[in-house]
Every structure is written in C-alpha cells, then in structure tokens.
Structure 1
Amino acid sequence: MDLEKMTQQVVSLCQTVGKMIRDEVNRLDEQDVEYKGVHNLVTYVDKKSEEILIKELKKLLPEAGFIAEEDDKLARGSRFNWIVDPLDGTTNFIHKIPLYSISIALNDGEETILGVVHEINLEESFYAWKNGPALLNGKEIRVTDTEILDKSLIATGFPYYDYSKLDPYLDLFKDLMQSSRGVRRLGSAAVDLAYVAAGRFELFYEYGLNPWDVAAGALIVKQAGGQITRFNGDGDYVFGKEIVASNTRVHNEFLRKLSQYFFS
C-alpha cells in the first residue's frame, strides 16, 4: 500500500467536499438543524458530506470498513477502517463561525496509519501518514520547542453532554488561565490537534471525545514530533474518550497539574 499516494488522494477528496460544504453555509436555515442528542447537532450538510466521502473512500480501499459519525450502521472491516468526521464543528457551521473541518483517518487494526484534517474556511489541509512527515498544504510542520506551560498557548473543548467531570475541569481551566499564555476553545477538536502539530498551540486537552474527533489529528501531531496520551498518561487516546496532545516538552508538567484536579 502506497500510504503517501493514498494520503494525497484523501486530501484532494477533502478539498473537493470542503468546497461543497462552504457553498452550503449561507443556504442553511434553522429548520435544517436536527438534534442527535442534547446540544449534539447535525444538518443535511453533514449527511451529504459523509455520503460523498464514504462513496469515494470505498473506491480507494474497497476492503476497508468505516467508523463514521453520522452512520453507525456501516460495516467495519476485519483489518482496515476509515474513521470519518464529515463536518467537525457543526455548531460553528450552523452559526456561521468560520472554523470547521473534515477529519479522515485510516486504521490498520488499532494503529492509525493515515490522517487528514482539512480546515474548510482557510483551505488548510493538514496531513500525515505512518513513518512520514506532517504537512500543511505541502510544507512540513513541527510542534514548538516551548518548554514550560507559562509560555504556552493551550486549546481545549467544553463538554456538551457528559458533565460528570465538569467541576475538576473548570478548576483546571481556572488554573491554566493564570499559569499559561491563555486557553482557547475553537469548537473543532480536529483543528485543535492540527494546530498543535503546526506549532500554533503547545497543547490541547479535552474529554468526551469520539474516535472520529481525534484519530486523524492525533497522527498528525505524532508525526510532527508531538506526544499524545489520555489524562492518566496511557496511550488509548483514540477510543479512550479523552486526550492530551502536546509539543512533548510541556506534556509532563501538564499531566502533573491535571492530576491535582482529576486524580487527587
């Protein structure tokens, strides 16, 4: 399998579907919004995007199955699986806030071997493949060399349905407001991860996430020289519902700080 070539094909597909999504933003009406759960929104654009992506990804690797946000009835493959978020940042999209993305990863068993995050509004394609570089629109990207949280810009996301960890989460947030250069909440976990890889953030953390939110971005961070774990420091971050992704240098300092609120 030529992973580099396949990655480039996925990038091209995301760019094509991204233009379709951007063309639809001003046509969207409140009546087009559906609720999958509490504050968990979906539109016909999410569904249309996923249909196109799945159709084309099947052509690229016919034996692969799918783990996709908008259709949990898709068959999973015995070895290869595409992990697809057709529109990460749907709430931003609905409110016409220009930050949302397409996220596509390919897993070989439990290992992610290809990842693409395409931020639609700036037309920025972040991508990587196993044993290859991390790239942004064809140029190699790397995480920062920042060594302490006090000089770091941090990204996070807020839970919209699982509030079981909200108190320690807000306590940590308050701490980071005072012990870093700032904390940002953009509304697309895939973009947050891509921005860590590109050196725009030093660190991203969030809980309550799904594989399609993080699989592609986490690989890009890894290939850009970063580190990814769960809150407790272990490695099951794709399916583990929580993630810490960093430039490596600030990772342990952050985990020590996090543990004071979550594991004390």
Structure 2
Amino acid sequence: MSGLTTIAVRAARSAGDFLLRTGERLHELRVEQKGPNDFVSDADREAERRIVEIIHRSYPDHAILGEEGGAQGDSTARWIIDPLDGTTNYLHAFPWFAVSIALEIQGRLEVGVIYDPTRNELFVAERGQGARLDDRRLRVSQHGKLAGAMIGTGFPFKSVDHLDAYTETFKAVSREGCAVRRAGSAALDLAYVAAGRFDGFWELGLEKWDIAAGVLLIQEAGGAVTDIRGGDRFMATGNVVGGNLRVHQALLDTIKSHLGDDLRA
C-alpha cells in the first residue's frame, strides 16, 4: 500500500469511527437543509474536518474538493471527499452510509477508499494495483445479462428535472427481469459493484465526491464505468453507468433510448 493510500485509509477510518460514536447521540446533532431532500449535519462537517486535517498533516500542499468545504487549494494533486455519503440514512439510524475519499493527480484517479463503519468494511483501490476489500482481492461479478441480475440505483432527488427521464429508465431496466435496489448511498453501491455484490449500477445527477472513489474501485476490479452515452464524461455530468462488462453494456443499451435530449447531449 502506497503512502498516499495509507493516508486515505487512516482518514477514512478516523471519520468513520467518529460517525459511529456520534451516531449514538443523533438527537443532539444540528441539522440544516442545503436544498430539496439535501441535508447536512454537524457530523458531516466534523468528519470532513478530520479527513482534511489528516491529509494536510502529510500533504499540506494538496488541494481538496469536499462536499461540505468545497474547493480548497490549487495543486495537480486533489483529494475528492464525501465525509458522509448517505446523510439522510445516517440521521435516521439506517445503517447504509459510508466515507468516500479519492485522490486525483493531474486529472486521473489514483486512489479510492470507501469505508463502511457500520460493517467495518474497507474498500481500497490503487491505479494499476487492483481493488481490495480488507485483505481480499475484488473482482466484479460474472453475471452475463440483465435477467436475474442485481442492480443498484438511486433516485435523482436533488435533480428533479431528471425525474421523468429516470423513471422511464427505471421502468425499462425493471422489465428486463432484474432485481433493482435503492438504498441511499451511491458510494457504497459502487463499492458493491466492485465486490460483485451488485452486477451493475446507474444513477443520474451525482456529484464528483459521490462517485470518484467508487469509479476507481470498479475499474480496478475489472469492470466498466461510463456516462449514460457510453463516454468518459461521468465525472462532469454525474450521470453514471457501471458494472461488469456485459451488464454495463446491457444497461447502456436498455436505458439510452429512454433519455431526453438534454441527457443524451
């Protein structure tokens, strides 16, 4: 494990352990609404502060892009941080949330870490070194078609303009005979694709911090991630399709005819 990855793991565990402790007194948290169905709590902010502190202790010149703190610094090395992916779940004591940390160097993802503190599962990817869950090497599933597949997704609750298009894609995928699951943390959904627990995933309107670490995990586990046109603009658009190679292509083929012109463009 490289020094950069070691720092990412240390930061993720620190934030995750803090979230678990704080989760025992949720009634004391101050919660604010950032937008429709979009909440932030003191726990999100403090978890991000701890992550940034650990990173800057070793790499003070590195830039930060955090969900809560926004963009900080100017460097070719940038950490992309979601300190609590699944805030609404967390605030309701629903145990499906994670810490997501990625490192991008000169625009290319190099490290991805997703930590599920509830299950004490640590997903780690390094470019060219594969992906691991704790000490086990990860590979995407071998399921070859949508029928019988387990597919993760998320509703575009922050981007209501996408809701009609998303609903049509949901209908189309569901008709293929697969099981579709929506639990509320895109980071964990992507990690589960890398681990072969989900065969595929799609969602519209995500942010960079939601997907950066999970994208690298899937790629290093032998899978594919694209935007909904099959291109590489997923970090810019937030419209993501991922999975093992065959399910990824089947998802693309199924959903693309149900998208509006604004999403195809």
Which interval holds the TM-score relative to the shorter structure?
Answer: over 0.9
Q: 1:21-72: CA deviations, max 9, x gaps? A: 1111121127621111111101100011011100111123222101100012
User: What TM-score results when the alignment is normalised by the length of structure 2?
Assistant: 0.94
Structure 1 range deviating more: 56-65 or 131-140: 56-65
Question: For the Cα contact (< 8 Å) 1:154–1:180, is it kept in 2?
Answer: no
After TM superposition, the structure 1 stretch with the greater mean CA deviation from structure 2, 166-175 or 89-98, is 166-175
Is 1:4 the counterpart of 2:10? The answer is no
Counterpart of 2:14 in structure 1 is 16
Partner Cα distance (1:68, 1:16) in 2: 16
Alignment TM-score, normalising by the size of structure 1: 0.94
The Cα of 1:82 is off from its aligned counterpart by 0.4
For 1:53 and 1:31, locate their aligned partners in 2 and report how far apart those are by CA, in whole Å: 19
Moved more, 178-187 or 9-18: 9-18
Identity, % of aligned positions: 35
Amino acid at match of 1:98: P
Q: Which amino acid aligns with 1:78?
A: S
**Does residue 1:154 correspond to 2:151, yes or no?**
yes
Runs of 4+ in structure 1 over 3 Å off: none
- Between stretches 31-40 and 201-210, larger displacement belongs to 31-40
SS at match of 1:168: helix
Structure 2 residues not aligned, in runs of 5+: none
Pairwise mapping of residues 77-226 of structure 1 onto structure 2 (< 5 A)? 77-226=74-223
1:107-142 deviation digits (Å, cap 9, x = unpaired): 012111000000110010001111111000121010
Q: How far did residue 152 of structure 1 move?
A: 1.0
Specify the code of the residue in structure 1 equivalent to 2:102: A
Q: Cα distance, 1:5 vs. partner?
A: 3.2
Alpha-carbon contact 1:176-1:182 (below 8 Å) kept: no
Give how far 1:170 is off: 1.0
1:177 deviates by 2.1
Aligned equivalents of 2:226, 2:198: Cα separation in 1: 16
In the alignment, structure 1 residue 33 sits paired with structure 2 residue 31: yes
Which of 37, 45, 48 does residue 46 from structure 2 map onto?
Answer: 48
Distance 2:59 2:29 in 1: 36
Deviations 1:186-245 (A, max 9, x none): 111000000000000011111111110000010010000010000011102123221111
**Judging changes above 3 Å, is the alpha-carbon distance between structure 1 residues 31 and 135 closer, same or farther for their aligned structure 2 residues?**
closer
Cα pair distance change 1:113/1:70, threshold 3 Å: same
Q: Once the two structures are superposed, what CA deviation does each residue of 1:153-175 show, in whole Å capped at 9, x if it has no partner? A: 10000112211221221122122
- Cα RMSD of the aligned pairs, angstroms, is 1.5
Residues paired across the two proteins, number:
261
| Local SS of the residue matching 1:115 | strand
Return 129-138 or 233-242, whichever deviates more: 233-242
Please say if residues 153 and 180 of structure 1, whose CA atoms lie closer than 8 Å, have aligned partners that are also in contact.
Answer: no
Verify: 1:236 aligned to 2:238, yes or no.
no
Q: Which runs of 5+ in 1 are unaligned?
A: none
Are 2:7 and 2:54, in contact at CA under 8 Å, matched by a contact in 1?
no
The CA distance in 2 between the partners of 1:126 and 1:136, in whole Å, is 5
